[in-house]
Amino acid sequence: GQNIDQPTEMTATEGAIVQINCTYQTSGFNGLFWYQQHAGEAPTFLSYNVLDGLEEKGRFSSFLSRSKGYSYLLLKELQMKDSASYLCAVRDSNYQLIWGAGTKLIIKP
């Protein structure tokens, strides 16, 4: 079966760095997405990786290793507004998105 694994919850300190991991087993691979979802709101797009390596976008970076079925989202200089759930999703060979359950990130002052 297809599976996306990410930690349920993480806690970090304001100003620090946090890495959220995502491992996947899917039938085929056509890209990996990270979305941010604040409580009670809709998910919003953060990043897209289709080739191995690191994609940097401001304070956020996303890494992909297709051979290992692994990605991480790196958040630097954490701010209180970064408290949210972070969703990992993989597009499979049928171009359907398979979603992880999300990682709830709690930022403490």
Partner 1 sequence: IAGITQAPTSQILAAGRRMTLRCTQDMRHNAMYWYRQDLGLGLRLIHYSNTAGTTGKGEVPDGYSVSRANTDDFPLTLASAVPSQTSVYFCASSGDYTGELFFGEGSRLTVL
CB of 10 to partner 1, least distance (A): 16
Residue 56 tokens read as: 């940097």
Check if the beta carbon of residue 92 is closer than 8 Å to that of residue 2: yes
Look at the alpha carbons of 60, 72, 84, 33 in this order and tell me if their dihedral is positive or negative.
positive
If binding is defined by CB under 8 A, does position 10 make contact with partner 1?
no
Tokens 């991480």 identify what position?
Answer: 72
User: Which residue in 89, 103, 105, 107 binds partner 1 (CB under 8 A)?
Assistant: 89
Give residues 20-49 in contact with partner 1 (rule: CB under 8 A): 31, 33, 35, 41-45, 48
> Which residues of the shown chain bind partner 1 in the complex (CB under 8 A)?
4, 31, 33, 35, 41-45, 48, 87, 89, 91, 95-102
